[in-house]
Amino acid sequence: MRYHFRPAPLSSVIRRLGTIQFDPLAPVGTNPDLVLQARVPGYRQGDWSNEGQTPILA
């Protein structure tokens, strides 16, 4: 798969973006899933939810 962005781990993409819009309606996928699938190799639907519950120490 070809990406428009440099592949990076999920936690660093979320940290770099700062926020991701949450939309509970998902006819093709939620906004976080669509954004992260385009940027994170091997990303699976819902991975952001699990990652988002892991505390990040700044």
pLDDT in tens, 7-26: 788 888 888 888 877 766 66
Indicate yes or no: pTM above 0.75: no
- pLDDT for 58 equals 53
Per-residue b or e along 12-46, where b marks 16 or more CB atoms closer than 10 Å to that residue's CB: ebbeeeeebeeeeeeeeebebbebbbebbeebeee
- pLDDT for 31 equals 80
- pLDDT for 56 equals 56
Q: In this predicted model, what pLDDT tens digit does every residue of 20-56 receive, in sequence order? A: 777 666 677 778 888 888 888 899 888 887 776 665 5
